[in-house]
Amino acid sequence: MVFSSAIFLLAFLPVVFVLNYIMKKEYSNIFLLVASLIFYAWGEPFLVFLMILSIIINFLVGRLITKAGSIGAKRAWLIAGVSLDLLFLGYYKYYGFIVSIINGIAGKDLIPDPGIALPIGISFFTFQAISYIADVYTGEVEASSSIVNVALYISFFPQLIAGPIVKYRDINLQIMDRTITKSGIARGFKRFIYGLSKKVLISNVLGLCVDTIYAYDIKTIDAKTAWIAALAYTFQIYYDFSGYSDMAIGLGEMFGFKIPENFNYPYLSGSISEFWRRWHISLGTWFREYVYIPLGGNRKGKVRTYINLVIVFFLTGLWHGADFSFIIWGLYHGFFSILERLGLKKLLDKSKIVSKLYCFLIVNFGWVLFRADDTLTGLRFIARMALPFRHSDINLDVREYMDAKTVFIFICALIGAGALQKLVPAKIADKWKGSVCEAIYCVIILILSIAAITANTYNPFIYFQF
């Protein structure tokens, strides 16, 4: 089930919200847990048991860490719990990838393709599970005595399948005791509408343009078309993922939870390091706290710092998908992050315009590698973008993949990715928030979003595959 579906908007959400609102507070966690399991089982009727198994294992590991009598025993239980979590993730997400590498090296099918179905959102709920037992081990939080509370933390449907990745210490008190207010419901509903419109009215339109271009034979792609595809995907993935995060945060507030922000206008960044402080904030924070810092961070000299950064960005790429394209994309970002530490950042700081243009172009080229069906195709797209004169004899008609609506949405996407927020004075922005005009605007975009959902079958979520 996806947020931008009729079944969710017109049936699941209204029923769950109303029942949760009217029932006694002490039954809310159990009810939301059941609703979350139904939400996940809607698309994964059998794989939901994998998540339930993960919940049971991590709950027990948390209790065993607490009861362990020595540091060594606590560490052993932590290693065992993390190993099991990664074993599940590795089998379902990376086993087929490893088999393809082995068969590729051998030049024949030594191992049959396992054809394993990837559970939706497994990377997200696995990282949350690891966060829980890691925080119990370090003493950041106490192990919960309620399996229902741990289960709700791992499976809470607003952020279950595409984040944000929430740490247990950020939400455990809310799970145990929270208050639903009318003002919180209003803010949450408004945030959900904004996120829904991002996804349905902007991302889907740009996505159709991108998919149309990538379906062409690469030999027919000229520089103009390659740039349009790259820019369209750059904004598609932003509005897709930030839109989902907005919906998750809004839904959370409607149920009394405060889910951390996940985006802060990343395309306004002046460096790759800054980009990763603004893009998918919860993932960057997770890797910093549970990988980068335990490896030594920047406390053991420059060489060790660079090695740690390479490891983190390698894992970041691998987390996004079992394919060399994602690994290369991650290392590509790591390369520029290290380059900035070596002195490039000082040069970029001399000009805000140059630094922002640099970062946007680096990120844009990176998204080409991320989106392309394979690394070679991505490199061929980039070659057309960087060397337009080599393909000047190709002249693909823009009208084949872009119409007036797409151009208009393109402009809206560009303005809404940070430019508008920077240009509008704070006083005007404050007057807009909570005003009658904003309420009317929300009603309009909600109606347009629902109309688009009912009229179109094209409704992918990019980050569901992760």
- d(C-alpha 104, C-alpha 47), whole Å: 29
Cβ–Cβ < 8 Å for 179, 256? yes
- d(C-alpha 177, C-alpha 200), whole Å: 34
Handedness of CA 94, 98, 100, 101 (dihedral sign): positive
363 closest CA partner among 441, 451, 276:
276
Report the b/e string of 204-214 with b at 16+ CB within 10 A.
bbbbbbbbebb
Handedness of CA 221, 203, 372, 370 (dihedral sign): positive
**Marked catalytic residue, from 280, 320, 333, 391:** 320
Has 320 been annotated as catalytic? yes
343: its two tokens:
């002195």
Upstream peptide bond of 388 is cis (omega within 30 degrees of 0)? no
- d(C-alpha 120, C-alpha 323), whole Å: 17
255 closest CA partner among 312, 192, 317:
192
Handedness of CA 168, 174, 180, 186 (dihedral sign): negative
Active site residues: 320
